[in-house]
């Protein structure tokens, strides 16, 4: 086995804590790679997570959790063998390697391992103090201040729920192509939910923010104060909401978080595995028009400090900016190493996994639509009667057909080109490959979300980012509650 080399910040942590060194890693890869396996990979993880939650004016819960382990993957052709253990010892790694190799047995021949030296990697999220090292007392104080501010905003505020979650993750990836690379990944998130009551009617609103940065950023009153004010504002708007009408209508999506519709309705359909297997509505359509002119969709894992960003993905491939749709034409898919090899293309740094217990697969990082040239106010004025959707709650999509349903958590009628009454019960219903062809106006106000997205796929959740400018979509089906019993 040829010598592997790791960045100075990666290997020493695992070597000092678990006794792992280049020689032992090479031996484990040799075990997993023995005939008849094409490729072998070791993924080590050491994660500390803590959270503190407030409800009913007091901090009620707090937790601190440590998760560590190793996952070993062996690949033969299209077959993947995977084994994992939370016991990070040389013996456990060897056993997992033997198990993974047995699962993936195929017809591949032995080959020599080629060393690929990894150059300097970017540091997209430099952190001086890990967020899990911030004293619990500081987190409790932050939540108490949030509670006090929310209640002071309006006498109709009945309940405040808030939490702060911090994570600090070390990963080390070694593979039989010579890759040996590590990453240290901070992640913080602040959540605020407000309940208001008026005349016996109660409404809720949620706001959150986060990213890969120090907790001090969220502790800034300018940051959390704006978050609290927005949660209260949205809850009070919901108190005045009237039932949403149903039917086909022009819809304007606001900038930022409404990009979650783009993520679900289109993004998943552009992941490499669905397209290799032919199960995506976008399979085999590279070079074809799939959206209106002016629509350009990007997946970019290199944005500094963003929730969905990574220095390297969970296979050790540097992340990058990938153009998925360019001026309405399908330009490419998001790829991990396995699907890239089987499709004869380069990996794009989108191989992601929830933890060492999971196989990597193609996943989004930060996915967004580029800005256009239209004034957002002009876009609203262009709609005589329709719906303005500012924020979304839950939703679901069928990857094979592209059909989606999304519920709006804040939406308004558009009447005579002006924002009208807030509505409740609005759902957007459509088809991913079709909806982008209905985009008729694109604003110049591209905004990324506040940093709260978590993407689910095959039972795995990973942090992601979304974004979009204000856009107009013509003749979209809207489900409503107007006239319902």
The vertex-419 CA angle with 472 and 257, nearest 5°, equals 55
Q: Does an H or E element contain 410, and which?
A: strand 403-415
Instruction: State the Cα–Cα distance between residues 171 and 183, nearest whole angstrom.
Output: 5
pLDDT at 106: 57
Which of 13-27, 162-176, 282-296 is predicted with the least confidence, judged by mean pLDDT?
13-27
Residue 233, classed as helix, strand or coil, is helix
> What pLDDT, on a 0 to 100 scale, did the predictor assign at position 170?
96
Query: How much is the pLDDT for 1?
Result: 35
| Beta strand ranges found along 79-156 (DSSP E) | 79-85
Asked if residue 36 has a cis previous peptide bond (ω within 30° of 0), the answer is yes
* Alpha carbons 419 and 414: distance in angstroms, whole number: 5
> pLDDT band at residue 117, thresholds of 50, 70 and 90?
very low
Closest CA to 167 of 120, 208, 134, 201: 134
The pLDDT of 428-455, averaged and rounded, is 95
Average pLDDT of the residues of the chain: 91
Q: Over 50: is that where the pLDDT of 463 sits? A: yes
pLDDT band at 465 (very low <50, low <70, confident <90, very high): very high
Which of the two residues, 418 and 28, has the higher pLDDT score? 418
Residue 483's pLDDT is 56
Query: Distance (Å, rounded) from C-alpha 132 to C-alpha 173?
Result: 23
Looking at residue 112, its pLDDT comes to 42
What pLDDT does residue 412 have? 98
Q: What is the pLDDT of residues 404-429, one digit of tens each?
A: 898 999 999 999 999 999 999 999 99
With contact defined as beta carbons under 8 Å apart, do 278 and 284 qualify?
Answer: yes
Is the per-residue pLDDT at 120 higher than 80? Answer: no
Q: What is the pLDDT of residues 160-199, one digit of tens each?
A: 999 999 999 999 999 988 888 989 999 999 999 999 999 9
Q: What is the pLDDT of residue 21?
A: 80
Domain annotation for the chain: domains and CATH numbers: 11-239 (3.30.2290.10), 247-479 (no CATH)
Mean pLDDT of the 216-223 span? 95
Is the pLDDT reported for residue 20 higher than 90?
no
Residue 318 has pLDDT above 80, yes or no: yes
**pLDDT greater than 80 at residue 389:** yes
Burial letters for 110-149: b for 16+ Cβ neighbours within 10 Å, e otherwise? eeebeeeebeebeebbebeebbbebeeeebbebbebbbeb
Q: What percent of the chain has pLDDT over 70?
A: 94
Residue-wise pLDDT tens digits, 351-384: 999 999 999 999 999 999 999 999 999 999 999 9
Q: What is the pLDDT of residues 69-102, one digit of tens each?
A: 999 999 998 899 999 999 998 899 889 988 998 8
Radius of gyration in angstroms for the set of CA atoms belonging to the chain, rounded to a whole number: 24
Flag whether pLDDT at 111 surpasses 70: no
Which two structure tokens, joined as six digits, stand for 135? 């004293």
The predicted pLDDT at position 107 comes to 52
- The count of other CB atoms within 10 Å of the CB of residue 206 is 17
Phi/psi-derived region of residue 392, left when phi > 0, alpha when psi is between -120 and 50, beta in every other case: beta
Opening angle at CA 372, ends 370 and 377, nearest 5:
120
Residues in the chain: 485
Are 121 and 311 spatial neighbours (Cβ–Cβ below 8 Å)?
Answer: yes
Measured between alpha carbons, how far is 410 from 240 in angstroms, rounded to an integer? 11
Residue 258 has a pLDDT of: 95
DSSP category for residue 437: G
Which of 1-5, 288-292, 395-399 is predicted with the least confidence, judged by mean pLDDT? 1-5
- Peptide bond between residue 91 and the one before it cis (omega within 30 degrees of 0): no
At 222-256, the pLDDT tens digits run: 999 999 999 999 999 999 999 999 999 999 999 99
- What 3-state class would DSSP assign to 442? strand
Q: Between 221-239 and 136-153, two packed helices, what is the crossing angle to 10 degrees?
A: 40
C-alpha dist (Å) from residue 256 to 12, 185, 478: 40, 24, 20
Query: How many angstroms from the chain centroid is the CA of residue 252?
Result: 24
Would you state the structure tokens that stand for residue 26, as one six-digit string? 């090479």
pLDDT at 4: 34
């Amino acid at each position: 086995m040829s010598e592997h080399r790791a960045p100075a910040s990666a290997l020493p942590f695992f070597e000092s804590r678990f006794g792992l060194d280049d020689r032992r890693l090479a031996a484990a890869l040799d075990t997993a790679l023995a005939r008849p396996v094409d490729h072998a990979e070791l993924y080590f993880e050491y994660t500390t997570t803590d959270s503190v939650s407030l409800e009913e004016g007091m901090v009620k819960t707090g937790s601190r959790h440590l998760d560590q382990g190793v996952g070993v993957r062996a690949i033969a052709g299209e077959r993947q063998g995977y084994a994992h253990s939370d016991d990070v010892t040389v013996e456990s790694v060897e056993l997992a390697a033997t198990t993974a190799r047995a699962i993936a047995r195929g017809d591949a021949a032995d080959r020599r391992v080629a060393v690929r030296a990894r150059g300097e990697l970017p540091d997209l999220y430099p952190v001086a103090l890990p967020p899990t090292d911030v004293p619990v007392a500081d987190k409790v104080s932050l939540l108490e201040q949030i509670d006090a501010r929310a209640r002071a905003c309006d006498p109709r505020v009945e309940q405040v729920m808030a939490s702060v979650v911090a994570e600090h993750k070390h990963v080390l990836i070694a593979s039989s192509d010579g890759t040996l690379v590590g990453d240290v990944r901070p992640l913080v998130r602040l959540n605020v939910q407000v309940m208001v009551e008026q005349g016996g009617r109660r409404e809720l609103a949620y706001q959150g923010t986060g990213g890969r940065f120090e907790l001090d950023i969220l502790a800034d009153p300018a940051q959390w104060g704006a978050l609290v004010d927005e949660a209260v504002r949205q809850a009070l708007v919901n108190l005045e909401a009237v039932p949403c009408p149903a039917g086909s209508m022009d819809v304007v999506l606001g900038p930022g978080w409404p990009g979650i519709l783009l993520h679900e309705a289109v993004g998943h359909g552009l992941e490499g595995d669905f397209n290799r297997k032919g199960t995506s509505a976008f399979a085999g359509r590279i070079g074809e028009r799939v959206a209106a002119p002016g629509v350009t969709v990007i997946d970019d894992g290199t944005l500094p400090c963003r929730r969905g960003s990574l220095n390297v993905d969970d296979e050790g491939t540097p992340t990058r900016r990938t153009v998925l749709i360019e001026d309405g034409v399908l330009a490419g898919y998001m790829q991990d190493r396995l699907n890239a090899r089987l499709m004869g293309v380069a990996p794009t740094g989108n191989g992601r996994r929830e933890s060492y217990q999971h196989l990597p697969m193609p996943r989004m990082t930060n996915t967004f639509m580029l800005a256009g040239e239209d004034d957002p106010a002009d876009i609203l004025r262009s709609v005589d009667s329709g719906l303005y959707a500012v924020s979304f709650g839950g939703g679901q999509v069928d990857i094979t057909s592209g059909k989606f349903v999304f519920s709006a958590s804040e939406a308004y009628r558009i009447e005579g080109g002006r924002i009208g009454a807030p509505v409740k019960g609005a759902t957007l219903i459509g088809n991913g490959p079709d909806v982008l062809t209905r985009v008729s106006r694109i604003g110049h106000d591209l905004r990324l979300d506040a940093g709260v997205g978590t993407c689910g796929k095959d039972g795995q959740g990973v942090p992601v980012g979304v974004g979009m400018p204000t856009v107009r979509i013509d003749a979209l089906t809207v489900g409503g509650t107007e006239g319902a019993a």
